Copies of this chain bind each other. A is one copy, B any other.
């Protein structure tokens, strides 16, 4: 990221909508970026070169300047911005990006000491994407008052107008924040964290709005929200390791209409010169992932079998909340390590991308609600799933390409077919099989959905090179793979929990039967031999 810095008189009114922009040109490429006021009489303009070479720039507005920067070839650890590529993700340099996400919602609002610990944890973790919020979070196990806020308060107001003891938002009877005055100290500190993540090769999945609030950030007017977005886009868009999440559980934010969301979505899409990925995360109601600005599906669901049907959007499917490994009283945070690992395997083999979170609390402590829970604040990772997610990642990253899901075992492929397609299939089958196919055709949508959601086996492939089948909780003594007749394959059995793999058979093609140990959490992977 290149940064131009100028001294000039501080704005007399608002900090947003600064009249400062620059055009960066390299060959045919031309990108216009907007500058922002960074405090202390400093203005900045940020630019991310996505090709190697000499860029000329021309600054206009309250400052006029011209110059050149030379973009050197990136080292091996830098690949540019993650972008959607069909149902997968690639960085700007076309390197495949396989997100293995985790969640630290209030990472930006913790002490330096805790942040160091978090960074240490992330450094040895398998995670290369973190969901985190810009605004502080008020929720169970999320109560600490942050040191800094994205805006300064209105004159005469202080954040402790809103006390922890009182219900979220209910105490706010008059405006508290001056959204025209972002606090550069907050944004500097926030960016430090983004840079720390970047150094670890971690993409920040940045949550712009959320409902867990006692300060009033979730009930800003649309105009105030736009001022916030204006400043955030100017400051952050040139970071490479970013993707935008309009909200966490957008549908739970009081008072927001779909028109608000579409306005925010359009604003981000139009004002991010580098076109980072953009989605919106739900609680109950799904956002419309078919909208052109939306680059990927980012949903909350406990059900990995949804990945295949969400592929209808032709975009990457990120299961950005599927429950968390932990011991919480709440139903969202009580998965065993095996369950969390299981969901990663199911989502990954289906061609989607899964997101982790960790929620362990010691209810014997003096104040369980103030415990440092990784999913909320960071700190140590103590769960059992990250080692298994690392093992999965090591397998997936050695494949010759991204995994595509295959509708599961047995009858599942038929569940997607239209009545006409099924009738056509039935016409060429013996009567007993034709009857099965016709029965599927007679299923209502609800019935089909139930069949999908209770699918037990998960199948994926990389072209004809690799076929993977994951069995989850099912225990088989023997399994079947349906491989192409035209090649021969070596079949490995993978114990996804104990993290071992062994060759079970080689020279396999067509329908092959493989004896497997009678245990849960197994996968088999057939790799082409020549």
Contacts and interface: CB of A to CB of B under 8 A. Distances in A.
A361 B518 CA distance: 11
A475 interface: yes
B363 A477 contact: yes
A251 interface: yes
20 contacts: A211-B432, A252-B439, A253-B435, A254-B431, A254-B432, A254-B434, A283-B436, A284-B411, A284-B439, A284-B443, A284-B451, A302-B454, A303-B450, A306-B450, A329-B478, A331-B457, A334-B471, A335-B473, A335-B475, A453-B454
Interface stretch (A40-48, A67-75, A162-170, A495-503): A162-170
A430 interface: yes
Nearest to A477: B327
Nearest to A411: B284
A432 B254 CA distance: 6
Interface string A23-65: 0000000000000000000000000000000000000000000
Contacts of A254: 431-432, 434-435
Contacts of A362: 477
Nearest to A251: B439
B284 A435 contact: no
Interface string A427-455: 00011101110011011011101110110
A332 B503 CA distance: 26
Given A255-B431, A285-B439, A435-B252, A474 B335 contact: yes
Interface in A229-260: 251-255
A43 B20 CA distance: 104
B474 A334 contact: yes
A467 to B, nearest CB: 17
Given A329-B476, A363-B478, A450-B453, 7 more contacts: A286-B447, A303-B450, A327-B475, A329-B513, A331-B474, A334-B456, A449-B449
Nearest to A518: B327
A contact patch SS:
loop
A372 to B, nearest CB: 16
Nearest 7 interchain pairs by C-beta: A302-B454, A327-B477, A251-B439, A334-B474, A254-B435, A284-B439, A453-B453
A445 B442 contact: no
A124 interface: no
Interface residue tally on A, bucketed by range: 35 or more
A382 interface: no
A474 B332 CA distance: 10
A301 interface: yes
Contacts of A326: 475
A476 B336 CA distance: 9
Residue in A169, A301, A450 with the greatest tally of chain B CB atoms within 10 Å: A450
Contact of A303 (B168, B430, B453, B471): B453
A327 B439 contact: no
Contacts of A410: 331
Interface string A273-304: 00000000001111000000000000001110
A158 interface: no
A513 B361 CA distance: 15
A339 B342 CA distance: 15
A153 interface: no
B361 A477 contact: yes
Nearest to A415: B284
A409 interface: yes
A364 to B, nearest CB: 8
Contact of A329 (B253, B284, B328, B479): B479
A515 interface: yes
A221 interface: no
